[in-house]
Amino acid sequence: MNAIPPSRAQLRSRRVNLDTGRENVVVISRRSTALRPDLFRGFSRVELRSDSKTQLATVLLTDDDSLVGPDELGMAEPAFRRFGQPAGSYIAVTPAPSPPSLDAVRAKIQGKTLEAPEIGAIVDDLAHYRYSDMEIAAFLVSSANFMTSGELIALTEAMARAGTQLRWNARTVVDKHCIGGIPGNRTSMIVVPIVAAHGLTIPKTSSRAITSPAGTADTMEVLARVDLSVEAMKEVVASCRGCLAWGGHVNLSPADDILIGVERPLALDTHEQMVASIMSKKLAAGSTHLLIDLPVGPNAKLTTASQAMRLRKLFQFVGDRFGLEVEVVTTDGRQPIGSGIGPALEAQDVMAVLANEPQAPRDLREKSLRLAAHLLEHDPDLRGGTGYARASELLESGAALRQMVKIIEAQGPAPSASKIGSLTIDVRAERDGVVAAIDCLRLNRLARTAGAPLDKGAGIKLYKKIGDRVEQGEPLYRIHAFEPSAFDLAVGMAQLDSAYRIEPQAGAAP
């Protein structure tokens, strides 16, 4: 325990069971024996100091002595964890002014173009949890209004440098990324073992779901451990040529994770912020060649070809600036990929494709092969134009499946078994006809309502895709859930709108 004796400016720390998300929050008694609460009028933050450790936190006052005593400093879980001192340590607490970088945020709100050092200071404060959610939102909204190319480059570079920098003992390090929004689009889990089986290095770091029913990390966690340390990740890549790990655990671009946590509830998803987010993580991950998947569809993040073209140019602009070779492909974003939506159901699809099972989703298989082909073409020993044939060979021969099994064994067992949700209902067609459209956004929300990704076995199993003929009463998809309340909510949501549009078949009688 910290042996610093108590003084008038110090309080004894106490761990308080409060989850305050990203923000550091501390609680002080209104009857504090060491600090007068009126000292904090005009200050929203305090500075905590113990030995060489310092941390900013938002202060709350309480009259409940059972929560925090007059001589104690209550530390909510995030603040306690980040400060890293044991409970009972004596911590000096003083009022703290706002971070100086907030002056740059205020200037941005007023329409000023920021210089690289100003953006660097903002990112540094973000990465060290010195901003409240309100201040983060102010930066995001002001940047969403306009961002110059210089600001984009500065933001990307600052975020890439703020966390872990991975470097690999390979001349060519390939990676892929999809901008998201399409349910069931688990191509990375098929592309990685194909590319690694060929012999190229592909250390794939992926995110967990924020507003979707599953991220790649959530789905991979059904099969293996994903919270790898940097050392463990390097060991897996050394032995397997590839991995499928959770990027948040290795601290790649930590400021980006903080920004994403605020921008998603605000529905902020500007092209510049998206590019800075993705490219900062790929630069930090040590990639040399990057493939970007841009799904385009009526309910996708990109709804038109012109939007995709503009975003492609932004990715290539940033890639050129940092010496990262970027290839961008547009793909069909009109409907889900595969038949499962939700971690365990998506993992079933992935393993079915890798095992070449007859019932494996053809669209997931085909898209994965085409994406893998693009990455394989970066092998100088592979003849141009033969990437697809090589990817098919690796999949059909079982080499990709063996490589996936090797990666799973190297990463370690999944933290828990993931059964498919036992509460089920089939959502059925209300008329005869042909599936004309599927609302991806609504299916995402429906799967989350059913419990995904928190309940890894919750989600949706699809039976019909665009162009399929259906008869009245025929199942379109099945909802899976564990909790009755979540199940009832999902069923009610599906009854209001199934997310499927069925039109009469051409030539059919009205």
DSSP letter for each residue of 199-245? T-BEEEEEPPPSSSS--HHHHHTTTB-----HHHHHHHHHHHSEEEE
Residues in contact with 171: Cβ distance below 8 Å, sequence separation at least 6, in sequence order:
288
CA 464/CA 461 separation, integer angstroms? 10
The continuous run of DSSP H or E covering 281 comes out as: helix 271-284
Provide the residue type at 393 as one letter. E
The residue written with tokens 């973000």 in the block is: 126
Q: Crossing angle of helices 254-263/149-161, nearest 10°?
A: 120
Do 368 and 191 contact (CB within 8 A), yes or no?
yes
Pairing of the two strands 433-438 and 469-470: antiparallel
Catalytic machinery residues: 269
- 50: β partners: 53
Question: Number of helices (H) and strands (E), helices first, in the chain?
Answer: 17, 18
Q: Which residues contact residue 343 at a Cβ distance below 8 angstroms, ignoring those fewer than 6 apart? A: 213, 214, 218, 219, 221, 222, 418, 452, 453, 456, 457, 459
d(CA 264, CA 144): 13
Chain Cα centroid distance, residue 272 = 17
SS3 category, 459: strand
- Write out the DSSP string of 20-65: -TTS-EEEEETT-SS--GGGGTT-SEEEEEETTEEEEEEEEEE--T
Hey, what amino acid is at 341? I
Question: What are 45's strand-pairing partners?
Answer: 58, 96
Separation of alpha carbons 445 and 191, rounded Å: 27
Q: Three-state SS for 455?
A: coil
